[in-house]
Chains A and B, each alone.
Chain A
């Protein structure tokens, strides 16, 4: 198993595309957090505001890590490398678990670094502008910062699952990105028009966003833990379906 994980880690870090995605994933929230912390009106800034800024902008990081997850398997189908992979490790379940482990750990570390760095930089900027912020005592802000890391891990595995089910890079990436941005918003509008109360409760991705929302407890969503579990459950279903299909089909 360790050998398979090492092999998959080498694969992940030896493709330039992943490096570019990683740089984009890090650069975007850092730039946004710095700009907002430097330019925003700071008369009444709390830790949860900074946390919301950091988690909000690093949702983009999570989506890009989801793209890394999707491409890690769809590119294997596109280039045919899935065949030498399964020939070298005939136990397909072992390969898929190793991939999931590598992707999840990579996503967790990348997202955690981004969140820590962004929070440190933006609170330092806020402090230099005379508004010291502190996480101590702000349970919700801390939970949101941890929650967005969990969110990134789930999105990366969702991408992996979609890549296994769809096997096609553009299609898997499009669904991964358009699902939260377009599909769930359309469903939300339809449900609202139909008179459903708090329709976001039915939408897995939007519920998952609650993980990184410092105000999750007070909004109309499922809340941080329930929303995260719902999103994780949907991801698990997609990933399991993908794993079964990949293990059974001809490679």
Chain B
């Protein structure tokens, strides 16, 4: 269980994190979502005692990170796969990490096996691809067999196979009852692995809920109807307060009305229906919608002319 309460962090005059509070439950993967620059990394650095918060703080099972005597046994964190000395081999990178928390050398080879880097462990990190560095970072996270895992954008720069691998590892870790918090600025990347969401924008909490709840609250919903008598149907629907937009001569999209209501309207008016289906916007749309007002650098939509 991770508890973040009233966390604030300012850099000069910029407020990176603004009185942020949320909880992360064990046994599930929690997605930490926000647009770029929304304060996810700063929050994670504050959680790990690397940055000093101006207010509030975080605790892991009730204890602040700085109070942990051998943190790698309790919290495995990967902030940036680039935090390695390029001239050191992957194995030696893990060896100093392991030694700092009294972990045996044999554990290093175990985690190298786990992430599939055993054969290249002796190579200097500067020869590693980005995907290999992410795997090395994850090996460091797993070193102490921690019950809490915190990852900042672990899928960044990975190919689809790598993203899938990370997803499988995290889901597996959560299924063993561990607490897993993983940040991303892409919801689509996480949709298939997270159960819970913590969504922030401009350092403030926008929503903490499950994925279905999030979609429920923020996703766009409408009814798609196809009929030779679509004009009459649209007329009847707008008469009941729905908004309509025509897609083509026989197809319309209706908002503010349910499929049941449209079906009954059609039956009453004797209109033949070729299609009647509920539509839901994607998770990505829901996320963009929720964070639209909190984008630090909002781009203008590209309008096709």
Contact = CB atoms under 8 A, between A and B. Distances in A.
Interface of A: 3-4, 6-8, 10-11, 14-17, 75, 79-81, 83-91, 250-251
A2 to B, nearest CB: 9
Interface stretch (B85-93, B269-277, B285-293): B85-93
B99 interface: yes
Contacts of B177: none
Contacts of A83: 45, 50, 79-80, 83
Interface string B103-123: 000000000000000000000
27 contacts: A3-B100, A7-B99, A7-B100, A10-B99, A11-B85, A11-B96, A14-B96, A15-B87, A15-B88, A79-B83, A79-B86, A80-B80, A80-B82, A83-B79, A83-B80, A84-B79, A86-B50, A87-B49, A87-B50, A87-B71, A88-B97, A89-B71, A90-B66, A90-B67, A90-B68, A250-B45, A250-B50
Given A14-B95, A86-B49, 18 more contacts: A7-B96, A7-B99, A10-B96, A11-B96, A14-B88, A16-B87, A79-B86, A81-B84, A81-B85, A83-B79, A83-B80, A83-B83, A87-B48, A88-B100, A90-B66, A91-B66, A251-B50, A251-B51
A150 B182 CA distance: 49
Contact of A3 (B68, B77, B79, B99): B99
B102 interface: yes
A85 B100 contact: yes
Contacts of A8: 96
Interface in B11-56: 45, 48-52
B100 A89 contact: yes
Contacts of B51: 250-251
Contacts of A250: 45, 50-52
B87 A17 contact: yes
Interface string B68-83: 1001100001011011
Nearest to B53: A250
A80 B83 contact: yes
B201 interface: no
Given A11-B96, A250-B51, A84 B85 contact: no
B8 to A, nearest CB: 14
Contacts of B88: 11, 14-15
A84 B83 contact: yes
B71 A88 contact: yes
Contact of A90 (B49, B87, B102): B49
A83 B52 CA distance: 13
A81 B133 CA distance: 13
B101 to A, nearest CB: 6
Given A10-B99, A14-B92, A251-B50, A75 B85 contact: yes
| 7 closest Cβ pairs, A-B complex | A7-B100, A80-B83, A14-B92, A7-B99, A250-B51, A10-B96, A90-B66
A6 B103 CA distance: 11
B6 to A, nearest CB: 19
B141 to A, nearest CB: 10
A24 to B, nearest CB: 16
B303 to A, nearest CB: 41
Contacts of A16: 87
A7 B103 CA distance: 11
